[in-house]
Amino acid sequence: MDRWLSKLEASNWQTHVKEILTTACLAAQCIDREGASVLVHGTEGTDSTLQVTSLAQIILDPACRTIQGFQALVEREWLQAGHPFQQRCSQSAYSNSKPRCEAPVFLLFLDCVWQILRQFPCSFQFSQHFLVLLFEHAYASQFGTFMGNSASERSKLNLSQKTVSLWSWVNRPQEVERLSNPLYEANCLVIWPSVAPQSLLLWEGKNLAPFLTPDLKCSSYSQA
């Protein structure tokens, strides 16, 4: 455990969480308080750009804090926008990318979402179990949602016909109930997360993921 904690500290993970959240809050503030248009663009526009734009929408738009709204956000801002899941998750079960392309970009985004959820536990329809599930399926999944590096690749592979979407599983009534947050109360207000060091904690649920979510086997899938 000590060795793992040392590696975590050396990675500056919590610093990255703080920087991404700070930038997202700045973008949201420009939109909400100044009525300004904001252009966000990283090196290629498919990594940190998506983190910032997605988090800004979660801060501003209560619809993005619902289960279906968050699905739409991931679909729009990550899958359709071209985040290279297969390259970034090079240790995944279906990737042949070189390790130098690997980067936990999506995981960092989910960690930031968890930080906001923890600070506003009544403003999210979903619990951390939903975030852990998405993390797991980005790396190993019987569904085709996160396969490939772009919508174009997924289209060429005809994944919509050859595989089942993760969302069809998530939207089953029993899964919605399991992933729901019992404390949820619809909040139409903008939520401003704190980025003070004492407000940003280590996401233990991510590291205990195998114990928090059931193993979704292909044989157990039945279409609703």
Domain coordinates of the chain in residue numbers? 12-197
Average pLDDT, the chain: 86
Provide the percentage of residues in the chain whose pLDDT is more than 90.
61
User: What backbone phi and psi angles, to 5 degrees, belong to 200?
Assistant: -105, 115
pLDDT at 172: 96
pLDDT at 11: 84
Provide the percentage of residues in the chain whose pLDDT is more than 70.
87
169 within 8 A of 143, measured Cβ to Cβ: yes
Work out the pLDDT band at 91, boundaries 50, 70, 90. Answer: low
Q: How far is CA 200 from CA 2, 9, 115, 141, 196, in A?
A: 20, 14, 6, 29, 7
97 within 8 A of 154, measured Cβ to Cβ: no
Instruction: State the pTM of this model.
Output: 0.86
